Structure 1
């Protein structure tokens, strides 16, 4: 019998590679054999594919059936190869035409009765196929809305294997995609609900405008969590490219709604303080799935009660904070996920969490041990450190205060981000928080007057070189919020004050 052929996509991280599936039906004892580094899930496809073909009304070929997935050295993970395997077998048996089959990428899992089930990771698979020159892709009907987010490629949906084979033989039609409805706008909590706390609200605005990491310290009930939950509402909507990138990550994680899969707002991820390093960074057995830092890409990662987390877990954030991505090596290969997020840490000043300092029962040794859970290298990557006021002090400072609304603050944030984007567009940076330190100093001028406070702080050992760069990034954001083209001495001094107040 002739050789059957079909094509699928192997997804690693948010990138993918085309996989050629070859089917050979020859002499020998009846059986189906998979080669090409299939994982356990893919090995089980032998039973799913055989049952789906037979229950769809087609004859399973006699003899030994060998299925090869190339490139052979690329690990194949998951069940999205089922449809390609079945069509390759039917093509080798002469039941599926080659004309459309050899120019189409097939994705999806098969049920035993021949239905196509939805799978995770359809969006990055379709993006990979389009980028490698493929013009037509078949996906399960339940994944059609997600796949149709990608422009420049023809996507159709199939409900059953029998419908797909009829379409391949030009005797039937598949489901055409409908216009994807715009995602519902997220209703963010109102910033104006937070009374007082002027310094903390200003720090939240700075964090949103420049993509700066933030540490909020204060007793319970002072408003740390309230401010953190209001931060995503200050961020501008995602651009088209950012939206597809974020949606692709959540597609792999299996967190997309089927009817309206596009994510247009910056995500907000808040793992529990008992989260492990794997759940935070990503990983898993065999295939590395995205963790909380990647699901918070282009959004906010909020770690409440961060000092209750093991120091080893917190220190695992250091590389993603610095590089904006995570690289996870597992048995099935190296997966790279983007992780350009805005981190917000919240903690009590001591274990007893007394509302008033006078009521604290913790010794100085206990307080030092509690603070040491946040290591120096991690704190050095935090740009803004704010100690929030107690309720009594807050009441004294809010008399006659009229807190600004989310809409008012968001407009300033959007204007500041637009100024930063135009300034650093040649570097490919969208916010001041992403710009390398040498570029910041070169833009300002090494011997500019605004550099004097930073140089003095470095000379007396108050901050590290990394801390100086981060303070300079905050100073640029302060200048953007005030409509200036470059930071002045006052901006730099204000930025340094947020770093030099790191003592909890």
Structure 2
């Protein structure tokens, strides 16, 4: 008799159906074979199943056992195939009723004592099971996570014997409750940052529109300090974003006891991170830092110290919002719509070309250091802001009157303005994901809502004709100006909004002064930019 149990194989955050079929054949030489394009972890399942059966006092049949994972051409990876193989074998042995497994999919790793260990990917497995009209059997530790999938039926046994007893009617396993919605770590307050008013303003603009941001300044000027305060300005995840983000984290095995959070992810990898660490990869094509920052922030400190290969690998996801990890036998797709925030010193020695402690090799040192970052990568950064050294006079000042709460209120108002504008145009921001915030606006939506007035258009034309803007830069300047106008409470994009966007929109340190000279000083933020 052939017994069958449904499980899933993961392709990124997508879970594809796999039927585990087990058959016992008469043979003088008992054996246990797993077929169906299984990797090493799946092939080792037979030994874990043997140990688990011995742990609960069951003897393996003295026959030739074949476990087929269908479809056979789909790669199977991971230890979560242990439990469905064991269940199908138990059904073929008559230990549990053959029809008891008809309405269930199963994932789980077995210990040699019969305990069921937690596995990654339980949330997308539960979503896939629900789509197939099935319930999900998963480890007890993953039960609260699977319960977040909605109304899907969930069984979360601690051990294999407990699951056998449930199907025999000896004990009853109840559906677990969803895990707690945990609070994120405390975000430090912006009030703790003294000085750097221009940088604070840029941080607020970036938060309001979801724009990419680069801080440039000497060591100790507060670049990382301000970046760490960005999460406090961002709105919580929407239900759709929460599900998307949690599924990525589930596949990576980073959800503990089913606890989710509405705080946006903030990932800060070390500058020694490889391309695979940032974009995903490895033997099993796990999600990288860019995907773990989906719907949140990816902070890259000491930007030029990252390898050129690693940095340039982010260029495509910054445009498309997804990462495709290509392998010889599969293409794994992960979402990666993140907001890039980076920090760097002006040159290798850190101090740049002016002021106390200036670099003696300027400007060559600056140019060589900045050239570690490619032009196309710079072109994808919307705001570049200099953070000058904080003086003793700045440190002696009392704390600023405004902090994170006040700035977050303006950010939330600006984002609400963006949502209301889309709804008034008949666009649902919950479904039109690519248009939901200004940093993603494009095409007709951008033309309709971000077209500047005549003075603003003339200023933008002058900047474009001067060779300072690529086609991408033109679009990103309009998006940035639209966000500045939203923070200003303006329905239209005016010249002052274009001017402030152009001041921030530069590809190398020092281009601001060049632009201001070309514009006759009219774009000076000290006269046209609202104070923070």
TM-score w.r.t. length of structure 1: 0.94
After superposition, residues 308-327 of structure 1 pair within 5 angstroms as 308-327=305-324
Out of 463, 474, 492, the position equivalent to 2:498 is: 492
Offset at residue 255 of structure 1 (A): 2.0
Aligned residue runs from structure 1 range 138-217, under 5 A: 138-217=137-216
- Output the CA distance in 2 between the equivalents of 1:450 and 1:120: 51
Counterpart in 2 of 1:432? 438
The answer as to whether partners of 2:453 and 2:494 remain within 8 angstroms in 1 is no
1:336 equivalenced with 2:333 (yes/no): yes
Offset, 1:486: 2.6
Give the whole-Å Cα distance in 2 for the aligned partners of 1:254 and 1:125. 13
Task: Name the SS of the counterpart of 1:475 in structure 2.
Answer: helix
Q: For 2:469, what is the secondary structure of its paired residue?
A: coil
- Offset at 1:23? 0.6
> What's the CA shift string for 1:227-266, capped at 9, x where partnerless?
00000111011112211221221122222222x5212101
Distance in 1 (CA, whole Å) between partners of 2:85 and 2:13 is 23
Q: Report which stretch shifted further, 276-285 or 416-425.
A: 416-425
Tell me how far apart the structure 2 counterparts of residues 487 and 235 of structure 1 sit (CA, whole Å). Answer: 23
Q: State yes or no: 1:458 paired with 2:479.
A: no
The answer on whether the counterparts of 2:451 and 2:493 sit within 8 Å (CA) in structure 1 is no
1:288-327 correspondence to structure 2 within 5 Å = 288-327=285-324
Give the secondary structure class of the aligned counterpart of 1:378: helix
Going from structure 1 to structure 2, the CA distance change for 1:181 and 1:445 (only over 3 Å counts) comes to closer
- Residues paired across the two proteins, number: 499
State how far apart, in whole Å, the 1-side matches of 2:57 and 2:400 are: 72
Structure 1 range deviating more: 264-273 or 98-107: 98-107
Gaps of 5+ in 2: 511-532
Give the Cα–Cα distance (whole angstroms) in 2 for the partners of residues 100 and 265 of structure 1: 40
Q: How far 1:168 moved relative to its partner?
A: 2.1
* Contact map agreement 1:79 1:108 (CA 8 A) in 2: yes
Q: 1:48, 1:110 within 8 Å by CA — same for their partners in 2?
A: yes
Question: Quick check: 109-118 or 322-331, which moved more?
Answer: 322-331
Question: 2:83: which partner in 1?
Answer: 83
1:420 to 418, 421, 426: 418
Provide the residue aligned with 1:271 in structure 2: 269
Q: Give yes or no for contact 2:92–2:98 (8 Å, CA) kept in 1.
A: no
Deviation at 1:459, TM superposition (A): 2.3
CA distance in 2, matches of 1:13, 1:174: 31
Task: Mark the CA change 1:137 to 1:501 in structure 2 (over 3 Å): closer, same or farther.
Answer: closer
1:403 CA drift (Å) = 4.1
Is contact 1:193-1:403 (8 Å) kept? Answer: no
Deviation digits for residues 376-403 of structure 1 (CA, Å, limit 9, x no counterpart): 10000000000112223x8369968834
Q: Which runs of 5+ in 1 are unaligned?
A: none
SS of the residue corresponding to residue 326 of structure 2 reads: strand
- Secondary structure at the aligned position of 1:202 is classed as helix
Decide whether the 8 Å contact of 1:188 with 1:230 is kept in 2.
yes
Deviation at 1:333, TM superposition (A): 1.9
1:25 aligned residue: 24
Larger mean CA deviation between 94-103 and 6-15 belongs to 94-103
Q: Secondary structure at the match of 1:80?
A: helix
How far the C-alpha of 1:450 sits from its partner, in A, is 3.5
Q: How far 1:474 sits from its partner (Å)? A: 0.7
Return closer, same or farther for 1:331/1:83 CA change in 2, 3 Å cut-off. Answer: farther
Q: Secondary structure at the match of 2:503?
A: helix
Shift of 1:100: 2.5
Instruction: State whether residues 233 and 407 of structure 2, in contact with CA within 8 Å, keep that contact through their aligned partners in structure 1.
Output: yes
Q: CA deviation at 1:454?
A: 2.1
1-side partners of 2:16 and 2:218: how far apart? 51
Query: Which SS does the other structure have where 1:37 is aligned?
Result: coil
Paired with 1:234 and 1:332, the residues of 2 have a C-alpha distance of 42
Mapping for residues 7-46 of structure 1, pairs under 5 Å: 7-28=6-27, 29-46=29-46
Deviates most, 223-232 or 62-71: 62-71
Q: Find the aligned partners of 2:436 and 2:213 in 1 and give their Cα distance.
A: 18
The structure-2 alpha-carbon separation of the partners of 1:396 and 1:172, relative to structure 1 and needing over 3 Å to count, comes to: closer
Shift of 1:446: 8.4
Query: Whole-Å Cα distance in 2 between the matches of residues 332 and 139 of structure 1?
Result: 28
Distance apart, 1:323 and its partner CA: 0.8
Describe the shift of the 1:127–1:465 C-alpha distance in structure 2 as closer, same or farther (beyond 3 A). Answer: same
Structure 1 273/185 Cα, relative in aligned 2: closer, same or farther at 3 Å? closer
